[in-house]
Amino acid sequence: MYAFAILGDADVALDRLLSVLDGRTATIRTAAADGATTTARPDTEYVLDGESWHADGVGLSVRDALDRLAADHDYAAVVGDVPLPTIRVGEATTSERHEEWLPGAADVIYEADRSDFDPDAAISAIEATDPYETLESLVAAVKRSPDADRSGAIATFTGRVRAKETDDDDRTQYLEFEKYEGVAERRMRTIESELESRDGVLDVRLHHRVGPIPDGEDIVFVVVLAGHREEAFRTVEDGINRLKDEVPLFKKEVTESETFWVHERSE
């Protein structure tokens, strides 16, 4: 699922985007942003109250809503200032963020005046960003595989940010990942393809988040659809090992007392 924020004249952007987006769409908006009205309607809409953050009577944050949507939606538009790839239309003011995400300006991927907004150009910019994935969305994807009826097993691996290894360690506040643009994605797709060529392996999905990731949050996922558990478990292990060894990703660690690039410490 592609997730993006909209600032400024959100009603204009949503009307034009929703009329041409090909796929299942969702919008998320705060009560403060709820004055915007659109003619075109998404398939799913969460309206989040600024204080309690609820949707359909259940307390949710923007991230909670995105996590729920990721498995069965193609696009999610967040009306408000959250650290997602951002579309800015007309005048936009920066408000206090409602999410407990790490601070830092999100990239503005498309910007236009109200009269010049081009939905096709905006969509191209959206689809050039990294998709918003969760373990559940990747499992849902392999279940939709054309070969799913031949599978008897799905095995997964989730890598998380470890706060500390021993009681005496400084607590890791967050890790920040950067990737070698283009190369990292191509390498992951190659690993997926090579693992899928094994007997009994039907579908493989690798996903690694980039940017700052706080302690306790998920970093990387490996999902394998296979005929039997033996090849599923073996391929998951090989998948994460190859991703760590072969994909050009750079990790910065920020602890309570210092900040350093991990690859420089290991040289």
Give me the residue spans of the domains in the chain.
2-127, 135-265
pLDDT tens per residue, range 155-187: 999 999 999 888 888 899 999 999 888 899 999
Decide yes or no: CATH 3.90.1170.40 for domain 135-265: yes
Helix axes 183-196, 229-246, angle to 10 degrees: 160
Q: What pLDDT is attached to residue 3?
A: 94
Cα distances (Å, whole numbers) of residue 223 to 26, 86, 138, 227: 25, 29, 7, 14
Q: What pLDDT is attached to residue 46?
A: 65
Q: What pLDDT is attached to residue 36?
A: 47
H helix runs in 61-115, sequence order: 62-69
Q: Compute the chain's Rg from CA coordinates.
A: 20
Q: What pLDDT is attached to residue 63?
A: 84
Q: What pLDDT is attached to residue 38?
A: 45
Are 223 and 138 a contacting pair, CB within 8 Å? yes
Are 172 and 164 a contacting pair, CB within 8 Å? yes
pTM as predicted: 0.82
Residue with tokens 């994909």: 247
DSSP-derived pairing of the beta strands 211-214 and 172-179: antiparallel
DSSP-derived pairing of the beta strands 86-89 and 108-112: parallel
Are 70 and 1 a contacting pair, CB within 8 Å? yes
Counting as low any pLDDT under 70, the low residues of the chain are 30-60, 92-105, 264-267
Q: What pLDDT is attached to residue 155?
A: 98
Measured distance CA(171)–CA(148) in Å, rounded: 42
